[in-house]
Amino acid sequence: MRVPLSWLREYVDVQLSPEQLAERLTLLGMEVQGIERWGADWRSVVVGELLTVEKHPYADRLQLTTVTVGSGEPLHIVCGAHNIAPGQRVPVALPGAVLPGDRRIERTEKMGIASEGMLCSGDELHITSDAEGILILPPATALGRDLSELYGDVVLDVDVKPNRGDALCLVGLAREVAAATSATIRWPEIAVEEAGGPVSDHLKVEVREPELCTRFVGRWVSGAKIGPSPDWAQMRLQAAGMRPVSNVVDASNYVMLELGKPTHTFNGAAVHDGTIIVRRATAGERVETLDHVERELTTDTLIIADPRGPIGIAGIMGGFDSEITNATTEIAIESAVFDPVSIRRTGHRYALRSEASLRFEKGQEFRLARIGADRVAQLTLAWAGGALSKGRVDTAPTEPPSARLAFRPARVSRLLGAEISVDEQRSLLRRVGVETEPAPSGARIQVSAAPQPLVVDPGAEQALVAVVPTWRRDLAIEADLAEEIARVRGYETTPAHLPDTLMPAYRPSPLLVREVIRATLAGAGLSEVVTHALVSPLDEARLLWPEDESEPALPASLAAQTGDEIAVTNPLSVEHSVLRRHLAASLLDVLSLNERQGRPDVAIFEIGKRYARVDGRPREWTRLAVLLTGAAEPAAWNRAARPYDLDDAKGVLELLYRRVGMPEPSYVPDPRGFPFHPGRALLARAESGGEAVAGRVAELHPDAVAAWDLRAQRVIVAEVAIAGLDVAGPMRVHVEPIPRFPEVERDLAVIVAESRSAVEVRRTIERHGGVLLRRVRLFDLYRGAPLAAGEKSLAYRLVLGARDRTLTEAEVEGAIEAARKGLQKELGAHLRT
Amino acid sequence: MDFESLSGDLHRLKDLALAEVAKAADPAALDQLQIKYLGKKGEITAVLRGIGALPPHDRPRVGAVANDIGEAVKTALAERGFELRSIVQAQRLAAEMVDVTLPGRTVPRGTLHPIPETVAAIAEVFGQFGFVVYEGPEVEDDLTNFQMLNIALDHPARDLWDTLYVDVPGHLLRTHTSPGQIRVMQSTRPPIRALLPGRCFRYEAVDASHGFEFFQVEGLMVDEGTSMADLKGLLDEFAHALFGPRRTRFRPGYYPFTEPSVAFDVECVVCGGVGCPACSKSGWMTILGAGMVHPVVLQYGGIDPELYQGFAFGMGVERISNLRHAVPDLRYYLENDLRFLEQFR
Ligand SMILES: [Zn+2]
């Protein structure tokens, strides 16, 4: 809301500087977001008096003038307007002047005659909307004065919160200024002179939807003359951000800004039979609104109609056919109260939000319907003349009394954590117009309102009754009064201390496992990224990442196998219109961006969510994704770069499993092909104490890399389900006593068919090695002569030991022999010696 | 064979051996000499083998001479060995000289993204005051995201949250972390001190200061006497922890789910309160919104507002991060340009 201070001062005295006032209002909850110097963009525009006005000798539409600005030689100025005459005082832009829009005025020549400046129209100065004529100033305006000194203003931009519809007007903000400064407020003098017959001679109103239009007040003015409103009024509207239109329309807008009461004025002659009907539209009805758009109405739209059909959408916008035009003489004034929800829905339905609907949506003070009608009538008479018919049409003339709200001062103090005496609370409330009185016996406290109303008996606690001003529709419960007391008193008076109450029980943080993983991976050289959860549906089609395995770390009920995509129904763009079902594509996007920046070596990870719909319900799982490409070790002065490969990703995975207290994962090849390299994809899994972690590691298929327009040779991607992992669980690590007896190492070289996987060989050794076998580690892999084609040799180092003795050679040999036999029997292996 | 001739042989051998040891050029040559003279088939040993031919009274004398000579050769071998090893080592060390001014081998070190880092920093501060972390769903239902937070379907304040809806009936992408308040209250009893970090979504076009995905941290404390003064004290500690000693202020704000509602400002981190473009010349920067939990919200959480009261606060993680790290553009966060991320190394 734009608040010209000169206008505000009409209702309240302001002693403070604009900056001080802005701070006080902000601290009262009316945040001033900007202070604008209105007129600061008129530079070197001064008041002049026309001495002579003559026809331009060479151009019919131009006039030659001489103008004095009080000192110096008279100026010769060529002017295109025709509303000027000698003796008038006018704004003169001197050579070198600057007008709004950074328009510079210089000495020029117009049709052969020099012009030493320019006479200004109201439009050129952004003071009025008149672009045709020169702005004629009052005769007493001081000659030579700078226009910005005379008409300049300071405009505050106030952010009025949605619950304070009452403050969306000058009077409302004047009330806040009064509360902040203890000044008194001056209500505008509203008095009308009625003449002619009763209003019922001209206007009948029938409200068919009293729920949606709780009050309709009508007034009628006959014989008005449409023209511009007074310059001062136009200036105020302009400064407040509203374009002046004509005297009658301006009167309506002026009242909206002054009192917060939207009204509408109709061309009375266009209201058929002088009858206004407030009803819902019928199917197929149409109306052309003031913005020249023909709109088809839905049956839940509340309209203003005459017996022939719609003449406006209630509370939103009037109809074109009943618009005030220059020929209009009969004025019908509508000042109504509409249901806020209905207005809001209608505004959304037609994508039409106006200054009026904005105010209706926030609810209206009931009595303003009457006051607003009178005020518009008063200004119409003053600015457009005519005669006001006697009385008002009023569909609900009984105005409800002020609401009474009981509260407990002790509860206010408890809520704020500050001891505020009863007397102080009463005087603070008085500053916002809330009078208080002792609560009668049986008074009940409104602790909570709809939709969860809670009313309690104050019991032995002292209670007061607050008499809530009719405009403060937001004050409904005890806590609302606490806020009034707090904000008027000023939050700087609220003490600050640390809570000294009971602490909650311990609860392990879900962030902990992520912190462990983040620290581990960053330490391993990977950089963390955070990407969008909303992705393009094309990403899935492009990458064809497989349906995810279950999330074994979660209880079975949450560990869904698959799920459908969840899509946004009102996306901003297709690129971000579905919730991702895996993270890999997001990391490819990051790689793509960095490749374009000349960064081909990328090692990144993200801990984020994937989303899917399972059995019709949305589900979310936290996952870890890793992407490695380019150089694992960049080239340096003394060595070549080493590219990332599958083993790096597996190493990262193994490190991670170790770090979260899981055993080393076992790998199963995943030969699915696209989007993976058919020979370089695997599933990893580890289990421990009822928890399991599943992951996938793969080098991307070259076609998948190409589909992402990447230059990278090899891209390794991993995704691991980490939802539900608990690294904080007590007793994660069990220490094995350090062996007191020496361990024995034996190497075993196993020759197997190429089709046998390393994990099979290792498992077989472990299974047959017996209790003395402590560890098995692969240390060599060999293919080629003297091995046959299709064979490979895997060399393992076996570590054996016992807790209570040094092993004998026979024991060691026995264990090795058992492993050897198992390998031969189960895998057809033979052993190299 | 007599003592004199045998002893003479031994002395000659000794001279010969010492001369050869002195000339030995490497440890291998020394090993050869060791074998040549002192080995089982060595020359000194061979001489001693002739000892049996001597008269018995001469035998100990020759034995003593032989021992002395053997010791002398051993000592010479050891000394020469030490000498040779020193030379070899000195040569190796000389050969191993490097240009120590060359740069070191880079230890790989990743970086941590500022959003989770900021969340961790916030959680650390409030964790010290007993706040425990909860998380709520990002695909939230309308009831919890709005209605239970006292934002009815046609509430004018709904305009404050432009919403992205999803094709799961009754659901939307949460517009704030505040629905977590309801979930925490429904799942636990006071005393409650909860912190709820997470991703949020709004229908908002992307520019330097807006995005449709962003992160928030919500706080909630509910107990019998939890007051605005507790909120103020706690937020002061928080601001000082994250932004250093600066002035702070409460000013009235508006949220449907708190009453009273406040905005929490800290002295501008750019100008220190003098006024600059970054703070719109006000000298203050708003870092979060807060207030006393609205009784309706407590009731939806299953908590009796007559017995309990509490406060809630919510802050934008990017906002906090921007102020701490002077990040000029919100888009940096989700774009993940390594030139940005690596500055946090
Ligand atoms: Zn500043």
pLDDT digits (tens, 9 = 90+) for A698-715: 999 999 999 899 999 999
Q: Does A198 touch chain B (CB under 8 A)?
A: no
B319 C-alpha vs ligand 1 centroid, how far in Å?
15
Across the interface, whether the CB atoms of A510 and B133 are under 8 A apart is answered: yes
* Residue A90 three-state SS: strand
If you count DSSP H runs as helices and E runs as strands, how many of each does chain B have, helices first?
Answer: 12, 9
If you count DSSP H runs as helices and E runs as strands, how many of each does chain A have, helices first?
Answer: 19, 44
Q: Say which residue, A554 or A443, is predicted with more confidence.
A: A443
What is the reported pLDDT for B1? 64
Let me know if residue B104 belongs to a domain.
no
Domain end: B37, B61, B95, which one?
Answer: B95
What is the reported pLDDT for A555? 52
Provide the shortest C-alpha distance from residue A765 to chain B (in Å).
36
B207 contacts B214 by C-beta, under 8 angstroms: no
B201 C-alpha vs ligand 1 centroid, how far in Å?
29
Mean pLDDT of A481-503: 95
> Is pLDDT above 70 for A727?
no
Across the interface, whether the CB atoms of B130 and A497 are under 8 A apart is answered: no
Distances (CA, A) of A401 to A189, A214, A336, A404: 22, 16, 19, 9
> Is pLDDT above 70 for A559?
no
Residues from chain A contacting residue B336 (CB–CB below 8 Å)? 529-531, 590, 593-594, 604
| B214 and B143 in a common domain | yes
B290 contacts B264 by C-beta, under 8 angstroms: yes
Q: Which of residues 401-430 of A touch B (CB under 8 A)?
A: 414-418
Inter-residue long-range contacts of A172-176, CB under 8 Å, 24+ positions, other chains counted? A172/A260, A172/A471, A173/A1, A173/A3, A173/A8, A173/A25, A173/A30, A174/A8, A174/A11, A174/A12, A175/A12, A175/A432, A175/A433, A176/A25, A176/A28, A176/A30
The token pair at A65 is 């003038």
| Closest C-alpha to A296, from A277, A278, A309 | A309
Mean pLDDT of A38-48: 85
| B153 and B11 in a common domain | no
| B234 and B164 in a common domain | yes
| B82 and B125 in a common domain | no
Residues from chain A contacting residue B205 (CB–CB below 8 Å)? 572
Q: How confident is the model at residue A553 (pLDDT cuts 50, 70, 90)?
A: low
Q: Does A741 touch chain B (CB under 8 A)?
A: no
What is the reported pLDDT for B278? 87
**Which of A160, A362, A572, A601 is best to mutate for the B interface (most B CBs within 10 A)?**
A572
CA distance A576 to B21: 86
Residue B78: give the domain boundaries.
Answer: 3-95
| B222 and B120 in a common domain | yes
> Is pLDDT above 60 for A552?
no
| B119 and B82 in a common domain | no
CATH number for position B237:
3.30.930.10
Across the interface, whether the CB atoms of A571 and B110 are under 8 A apart is answered: no
The token pair at B270 is 């750019």
Across the interface, whether the CB atoms of B232 and A518 are under 8 A apart is answered: no
pLDDT digits (tens, 9 = 90+) for A192-249: 999 989 999 999 999 999 999 999 999 999 999 999 999 899 989 989 999 899 999 9
Which candidate from A163, A498, A613 shows the least CB-CB separation from B234?
A498
Most confident of A49-58, A64-73, B241-250: B241-250
Alpha helices in A660-723 (DSSP H): 702-707
Across the interface, whether the CB atoms of A362 and B156 are under 8 A apart is answered: yes
Which candidate from A454, A526, A531 shows the least CB-CB separation from B336?
A531
What is the reported pLDDT for B241? 96
Shortest CA distance from A592: residue in chain B: B337
What is the reported pLDDT for A550? 56
| B204 and B175 in a common domain | yes
Domains of chain A as residue ranges with CATH? 2-39+155-181 (3.30.56.10), 43-151 (2.40.50.140), 199-394 (3.50.40.10), 403-492 (3.30.56.10), 511-550+559-721 (3.30.930.10), 744-832 (3.30.70.380)
What is the reported pLDDT for B155? 79
Across the interface, whether the CB atoms of A29 and B253 are under 8 A apart is answered: yes
What is the reported pLDDT for A551? 58
> Is pLDDT above 70 for A401?
yes
What DSSP character marks residue A710?
A: -
- Mean residue pLDDT across chain B: 92
> Is pLDDT above 90 for B258?
yes
CA distance B191 to A504: 5
Q: How confident is the model at residue A732 (pLDDT cuts 50, 70, 90)?
A: low
Let me know if residue B39 belongs to a domain.
yes
| B186 and B144 in a common domain | yes
ipTM: 0.88
What is the reported pLDDT for B68? 86
Mean pLDDT of A375-402: 96
Provide the shortest C-alpha distance from residue B90 to chain A (in Å).
25
What DSSP character marks residue B51?
A: G
Q: Does A29 touch chain B (CB under 8 A)?
A: yes
Identify the helix (H) or strand (E) that includes residue B331. helix B331-335
Let me know if residue B307 belongs to a domain.
yes
> Is pLDDT above 90 for A695?
no
Q: Does A616 touch chain B (CB under 8 A)?
A: yes
The token pair at A270 is 């266009």
Mean pLDDT of A327-346: 95
Distances (CA, A) of A337 to A264, A343, A689: 12, 10, 68
Residues from chain A contacting residue B223 (CB–CB below 8 Å)? 499, 501-502
> Is pLDDT above 50 for A557?
no
CA distance A495 to A498: 10
Which candidate from A448, A510, A530 shows the least CB-CB separation from B135?
A510
Shortest CA distance from A631: residue in chain B: B108
pTM equals: 0.87
> Is pLDDT above 70 for A833?
no
Provide the shortest C-alpha distance from residue A304 to chain B (in Å).
22
B285 C-alpha vs ligand 1 centroid, how far in Å?
8
Percent of chain A with pLDDT over 70: 97
Contacts of B16 (CB under 8 A, 6+ apart): none
Let me know if residue B263 belongs to a domain.
yes
Let me know if residue B107 belongs to a domain.
no
A405 C-alpha vs ligand 1 centroid, how far in Å?
42
Across the interface, whether the CB atoms of A482 and B168 are under 8 A apart is answered: no
Q: Does A176 touch chain B (CB under 8 A)?
A: no
Let me know if residue B105 belongs to a domain.
no
Residues from chain B contacting residue A530 (CB–CB below 8 Å)? 113, 115-116, 333-334, 336
Near ion ligand 1, which residues have CB within 5 Å?
B 268, 270-271, 276, 278-279
In Å, how far from its chain's centre is CA A394? 41
Q: How confident is the model at residue A141 (pLDDT cuts 50, 70, 90)?
A: confident
Mean pLDDT of B317-328: 94
Residue written as token pair 């960064």: A599
In Å, how far from its chain's centre is CA B11? 73
> Is pLDDT above 80 for B261?
yes
> Is pLDDT above 70 for A561?
no
Q: What angle do CA A127, A128, A129 make, to 5 degrees?
A: 135
Query: How many CB atoms neighbour CB A500 within 10 A?
Result: 8
| B161 and B67 in a common domain | no
The helix, strand and coil proportions of chain B, stated in percent and rounded to the nearest 5, come to: 50, 20, 35
pLDDT digits (tens, 9 = 90+) for A103-112: 898 888 877 8
| B255 and B127 in a common domain | yes
Which candidate from A456, A506, A609 shows the least CB-CB separation from B306?
A456
Provide the shortest C-alpha distance from residue A80 to chain B (in Å).
42
What is the reported pLDDT for A556? 52
Q: Does A522 touch chain B (CB under 8 A)?
A: yes
Q: Does A111 touch chain B (CB under 8 A)?
A: no
pLDDT digits (tens, 9 = 90+) for B209-223: 899 999 999 999 999
**Which of A37, A529, A655 is best to mutate for the B interface (most B CBs within 10 A)?**
A529
pLDDT digits (tens, 9 = 90+) for B106-136: 777 899 999 999 999 999 999 999 999 999 9
In this predicted structure, which of A474-488, B33-47, B92-106 has the lowest mean pLDDT?
Answer: B33-47
Which candidate from A163, A341, A414 shows the least CB-CB separation from B254?
A163
pLDDT digits (tens, 9 = 90+) for A563-572: 789 999 999 9
| Closest C-alpha to A456, from B160, B321, B48, B304 | B304
CA distance A606 to A139: 74
What's the domain count of chain B? 2
Across the interface, whether the CB atoms of A620 and B130 are under 8 A apart is answered: no
The token pair at A668 is 């199963």
CA distance A533 to A196: 69
> Is pLDDT above 80 for B50?
no
| Closest C-alpha to A717, from A743, A698, A733, A736 | A698
> Is pLDDT above 80 for B158?
no
Interaxial angle between packed helices A231-239 and A247-259, expressed in degrees from 0 to 180 and rounded to the nearest 10: 50
Mean pLDDT of B292-320: 97
In this predicted structure, which of A554-558, B158-162, B176-180 has the lowest mean pLDDT?
Answer: A554-558
> Is pLDDT above 90 for A450?
no
pLDDT digits (tens, 9 = 90+) for A243-299: 899 999 999 999 999 999 999 999 999 999 999 999 999 999 999 999 999 999 999
B197 contacts B135 by C-beta, under 8 angstroms: yes
Residues from chain A contacting residue B266 (CB–CB below 8 Å)? none
Q: Does A458 touch chain B (CB under 8 A)?
A: no
Q: What angle do CA A63, A64, A66 make, to 5 degrees?
A: 135
Let me know if residue B318 belongs to a domain.
yes
Which candidate from A491, A566, A599 shows the least CB-CB separation from B166?
A566
| B136 and B265 in a common domain | yes
| B50 and B125 in a common domain | no
Let me know if residue B100 belongs to a domain.
no
Mean pLDDT of A373-397: 97
Mean pLDDT of B141-151: 95
Which burial class, exposed, middle or buried, applies to B212 when counting CB atoms under 10 A from its CB (0-12, 13-18, 19+)?
buried
Provide the shortest C-alpha distance from residue B343 to chain A (in Å).
11
Strands A118-119 and A89-99: antiparallel
